[in-house]
A and B are shown apart, each in its own frame.
Chain A
């Protein structure tokens, strides 16, 4: 509605609309903007430089950059537009910056610059700077949040390091623990978290957007990181009941992947939980540089064993196979675990079965890898 309502004023030069988004992945908003045909600039603030705690917020500024209304309502737009112009050079007090804004030249400011403007290869420096800054400011929720953003950015890059995603979740958990009323922090965890705590599917509009953009004869904006699992799943009001499946290798007879031809990474969201709470588990399997998936067979299987009294949303999952006969992309699984009321921390037994072929020599193998899932219960 704002888009349509402001169109005439934008086209006549009477008004500039400037969007600011708080999302981790800016290209998703680019697709959204393309879909909705927004023609106004949108800026990316993934680390909460502007201390926005919730959205949407509509702020009206006059020609001098002075705040006229910090909570503009649609019905007040015409009144704002009809205000007499003011001298853009008028002297006025600057709004006081919020505490927590890093001083120019400080390590935190350097980290902020890297995250906003730097290249992926510099993210490790930002992560080190933020980690060091946190050691001297243990109660800073914003530093924790920014650390989580930097870690997830590195996770999504070719400079990924083991545990980046889990460390990001832990940092975001800590940020929310320090500032539990910060809705931007809360949403970042919910994006990847259990469906029981989801308010809505975050990115389920992507398929419709692509379809409609394509129908218009345009090419949809490419997404660097495809939304998946929790990011597009519908919320749940109650936990899914366990699906009993026949275990494919109950006696551990399939050869183990002792050379770690496939690397497994497990992330739990949130990183810690209390008894009775759900936990979402992300599992990624990545081929090493020595092998690729054999797609002419059944897909990768993930098998889980349910401890007594616990509930798992799935006990057997199979990844879909691409059309190509071979590939080397990561295979992603997500499931949820309901922790019993009287439970302690424990390990969930899981294993994957997969067909891989060696790049050199072309030997194809059917292998098993055990993937224990550590569930920390507070």
Chain B
């Protein structure tokens, strides 16, 4: 997504057919890496449709897949 192949990846990894491994290989090592085994830091951000505050803890009690992406 944030790399030369990102746009393709945006479509492919979320809705299409592949390229995930190719992009992952380009991720920098010093990026955002929440620690496995620890509770993810709490945050609140606006929903892009409603602009309402959404807390990560709102989803406590459910398995969550947190996807950081971009449409470009």
Contact = CB atoms under 8 A, between A and B. Distances in A.
A66 to B, nearest CB: 5
A117 B7 contact: no
Contact of B13 (A56, A60, A80): A56
Nearest to A62: B63
A67 B28 contact: no
A205 B16 CA distance: 15
A14 B63 CA distance: 7
B8 to A, nearest CB: 8
A4 B67 CA distance: 14
Contacts of B57: 65
Contacts of B24: 71, 73
Interface residues of B, number: 61
Given A27-B48, A29-B70, A44-B45, A53 B31 contact: yes
Contact of B9 (A22, A42, A56): A56
Contacts, number: 251
Of B1, B13, B31, the most chain A CB neighbours within 10 A belong to B31
A50 B43 contact: yes
B39 A51 contact: no
B62 A57 contact: no
A83 B62 CA distance: 12
B45 A49 contact: yes
A15 B65 contact: yes
Interface stretch (A133-141, A179-187, A255-263, A334-342): A179-187
B1 A55 contact: yes
Contact of A15 (B15, B63, B69): B63
Given A20-B45, A57-B31, A52 B62 contact: no
A301 B43 CA distance: 49
A29 B67 contact: no
A19 interface: yes
Interface in A43-87: 43-45, 49-74, 77, 80-81, 83, 85
A33 B48 contact: yes
Contact of A53 (B32, B46, B72): B32
Of B12, B15, B42, B57, the most chain A CB neighbours within 10 A belong to B15
A246 interface: no
Interface in B23-45: 23-24, 27-28, 30-43, 45
Contact of B28 (A27, A28, A98, A183): A183
Interface of A: 1-4, 6, 13-23, 26-33, 36, 38, 41-45, 49-74, 77, 80-81, 83, 85, 88, 92-98, 116-117, 181, 183-184, 187, 191, 199-203, 205
Given A70-B33, A94-B38, A202-B7, 12 more contacts: A3-B14, A15-B62, A20-B68, A29-B70, A53-B32, A57-B68, A93-B39, A94-B41, A96-B38, A187-B2, A199-B4, A200-B5
6 contacts: A2-B13, A20-B69, A22-B70, A54-B1, A55-B2, A65-B57
